[in-house]
Amino acid sequence: MPLTAIEDLSFAYGLNHYLLDRPLRDVLRYHLGREPDLEGLGSYAGREVYELAYRVDRLSQPLLVTWGAGGERVDRVWLDPMERRVLEDLAYRYGVNGMPFRDGGWHGFYASINLLGDPGLSCIVTITVQTAYALWKYGGEGLRGYFEGLAGFRKPLMIGATWFTEIQGGSDLGANTTTAVRGGDGVWRLTGYKYFASGAGLADVALVSARPRGGRPGAKGLALFAVPRVRRGGGLNYYVRRLKDKSGTIAVPTGEVELADSEAFLVGDLDKGIYYILEDLMVSRLANSAGAVGIARKAYLEAYGFARVRRAFGRRIIEHPLVRRDLLEMEVLVEESLALTHKAVSLFEASAGDRPPYSRTYHYARLLTHIAKNMTAQAAARVTMLAMELFGGIGFLREFPVERWHREALITPIWEGTSNIQALDMLEALWRKRAYEPLLEDLRGMEAEAYDRGLAGRARSYAEARLREAASMSPREAEFNAKYLLEDLGHSIAVVLLEHMASRLGEERYHRVAEIVYGSLLQRRPITNPGDGVVDEVITLSGSLEA
């Protein structure tokens, strides 16, 4: 296939995915007071990364190589050379891996995950940065070399991984059976089986949950360890039994890993492993949120481009009211998701110095992360479905990129804890950690500075009413209705955020988006046509799309 073939199949290929995305640039300006220098990455994401994602999905899946030519066990994954080059470019040319530990900060990192879009490639970057974060914060000098290689501060580039899931437990980490025994040399030995191990066969070092022998049962008995790929004296430190055959996320190999007396180094304190694990999961849950927004944006670009050229019933389909309504819904979902994601990122960044026991800011960040993770996943599934539908029959064909974006979106409600897990964890953060208190304080503060204080006040009042209602329920009733509460809180928070953005940035556009979120998504009323001028302003993003 010629390298330029994707140009004939895609409306998003070749665009600068940062410059044309006015809402992304505005939300970064809202939080940072400036726009990060992501123009180069935006161009790279719209060309090399876009083509790579399509190529790997269709033609070049990772392969597990079990044996070397000399008869030795290697358990290494072969990647398309272009994928390896892109991973190195992201780390060294664009500095994505090191952003959270340098001036780029977490907003820059998550905006980069958004721009990449492809969840398989983004997963490799995310698990690498997750590993770097844990080693940076809790690893100590003995693991410093791994941190520098993972963060792209030295060559060669290292890949990280997070292996917590086991077949018998899934999201129930307390069911982990992997055991850890401390050796006389101070190095631990781990034995167990990790069932969904993303990065298997790629990772130079992995974060692994295990229960020290004789430790307490349940999640609070877990410790966190760093497990290198190779033993100190040489030879494999664990085995990759197989790679999963997945519907999407093809760029990241996901396998089953057998730990057999594997050498491991304790990360942090022995009795605080579950706290480190949950904190590290915030990094990936925020990446899941940013990635879901990125997937939705790619699908939107495909659909918008198609709608401008496709003709039906004597006119371009973008001129039909129903199509315009679909595009408007898609864009509003993307912008609501952006607002929620980067608000959670801002709170996480503010609490990144916290250690167990954590501050109220950290628990508020946790609350917003659970909400953002769920809301963005739902939005990605909805937006990509509508994009496929706008393409008609060809939207269901694998040769067109829009089909893949819907497949990729379906992992986002599952990865990093399913939607049910996020809803349950939200309840825990709300009531046991009293995260509702900083939430309501924050909403009232933003309401006072909102573009439309009346609308912001109604959204804040709605959130307070839903919280009072939930507080009056029995534990069983609260759990049964947790996802409804999460969605209502998500929409309410988004309205206040968008009104605050409109005020701070002097952009009425976000007031218009907030009105639609409040009326259509929160109150579940039909969208009243706000006029062609407003629809055009929202759905075109920036002048770049009209070029």
By the 8 A CB rule, do 467 and 412 touch? no
Q: Residue 531 has what pLDDT?
A: 63
By the 8 A CB rule, do 110 and 103 touch? no
Q: Rounded to whole angstroms, how far apart are CA atoms 374 and 493?
A: 14
Q: Rounded to whole angstroms, how far apart are CA atoms 31 and 111?
A: 12
| 162-196 residue pLDDT tens | 999 999 988 899 999 999 999 989 899 999 999 99
Q: Residue 544 has what pLDDT?
A: 47
Residue ranges of alpha helices (H) inside 315-473 are 321-350, 360-390, 401-409, 419-427, 436-448, 453-471
What's the length of the chain? Answer: 547
- DSSP lists the bridge partners of residue 210 as 223
Cis peptide bond upstream of 156, omega within 30: yes
Q: Residue 542 has what pLDDT?
A: 54
Backbone torsions φ then ψ of 16, nearest 5 degrees: -85, 105
Residue type for 366, please? R
Q: Rounded to whole angstroms, how far apart are CA atoms 95 and 204?
A: 19
CB atoms under 10 Å from CB of 216, counted, come to 11
Q: Residue 525 has what pLDDT?
A: 86
Torsion of CA 328, 290, 21, 117, to 10 degrees: -100
Phi-psi region of 235 (alpha: psi -120 to 50; beta: other; left: phi over 0): left
Whole-Å CA distances, 161 to 79, 100, 227, 395: 16, 17, 10, 34
Strand locations in 235-279 (E):
239-243, 254-266
Q: Residue 6 has what pLDDT?
A: 86
Residues (pLDDT < 70) of the chain are 1-4, 528-534, 541-547
Cis peptide bond upstream of 2, omega within 30: no
Q: Residue 530 has what pLDDT?
A: 60
Domains detected in the chain: 5-150 (no CATH), 160-271 (2.40.110.20), 275-546 (1.20.140.10)
Q: Rounded to whole angstroms, how far apart are CA atoms 73 and 35?
A: 48
Q: Residue 526 has what pLDDT?
A: 79
